[in-house]
Amino acid sequence: MTGVKEESFFNDLDLSLEEAWELLSEGATNRHSPLHTPAVGTVTSSGTPSQRIMVLRAVDRDNRRLRFNSDHRASKVADIDHGAAISVLGYHPGAKLQLRLSGIGSVQTTGPEADAAWQQASLYGQRCYLADPAPGSPVKAPTSGLDPGIEGQKPTPEQVAPARAHFAILLVEVQKIEWLYLAHGGHRRAIFYWNAAASRWDGRWLVP
Ligand SMILES: Cc1cc2nc3c(=O)[nH]c(=O)nc-3n(C[C@H](O)[C@H](O)[C@H](O)COP(=O)(O)O)c2cc1C
């Protein structure tokens, strides 16, 4: 839970938005937070919704941006290449808050931010990006996709270096936040749209 008290935020739009961003920021830094692993939704080239759990790596509130890591050969990256619509969904039972975000997705494989994210990843984390063939490829037998020689031991920096070529960061520019607070006395629901012309969030209450 954040420092904002339940009784003060849940009838106040500004404090509700504040609470949402605080919980998201905590989700990026605290691996025990339920918002550390939200569901990220994309739309496939055939128009089908597709969701998966991803680790929320960073939250940049000033720029309304969330960062995730991905293999750039993954199907979610292809989805973003076809159309950038993306959603992020999480529920924090302690705070009794569901957050449903949507915005524009983009992928970077090179550049300072991708390089920094790669450096922050552990050797085990970096090893995931060695998979060969690419993630999602059909195979005849069960496999991790890794060379057996690199399984079951801590990889060395030299061993994981080739994986950098497959690593990408997936960025979400948040444009809409839907907030649902569950309370015995009566739920609350609010929606916030980013107003680019005025550089501010415009919020309003909805019936839950
Ligand atoms: C707890 C958990 C955390 C995960 N974190 C990530 C992640 O940070 N990045 C990622 O690409 N996949 C992550 N995955 C795997 C994805 O859910 C998904 O299976 C994989 O990325 C392939 O998705 P795609 O084919 O839709 O691209 C995670 C799965 C679980 C269960």
pLDDT digits (tens, 9 = 90+) for 112-141: 999 999 999 999 999 999 999 999 999 999
Ligand 1 center–CA 77 separation, angstroms: 12
Q: How confident is the model at residue 5 (pLDDT cuts 50, 70, 90)?
A: low
Between CA 113 and CA 69 the distance in angstroms is 11
pLDDT value at residue 12: 93
Between CA 135 and CA 29 the distance in angstroms is 27
Between CA 178 and CA 203 the distance in angstroms is 9
Look at ligand 1, atom 18, and give the residue with the nearest C-alpha.
Answer: 52
Cβ-proximal residues to 18 (8 Å cutoff; 6+ apart), any chain: 4, 9
Q: How confident is the model at residue 6 (pLDDT cuts 50, 70, 90)?
A: low
Q: Which CATH topology does 6-206 take?
A: Pnp Oxidase; Chain A (2.30.110)
- Specify whether the CB–CB gap between 84 and 194 falls below 8 A: no
Burial label, 2 (beta-carbon count in 10 A; 0-12, 13-18, 19+): middle
Tens digits of residue pLDDT in 40-77: 999 999 999 999 999 999 999 999 999 999 999 999 99
Q: What percent of the chain has pLDDT over 90?
A: 88
The answer, yes or no, to whether residue 4 has pLDDT greater than 80, is no
Between CA 205 and CA 208 the distance in angstroms is 9
pLDDT value at residue 71: 98
Look at ligand 1, atom 13, and give the residue with the nearest C-alpha.
Answer: 54
Look at ligand 1, atom 30, and give the residue with the nearest C-alpha.
Answer: 53
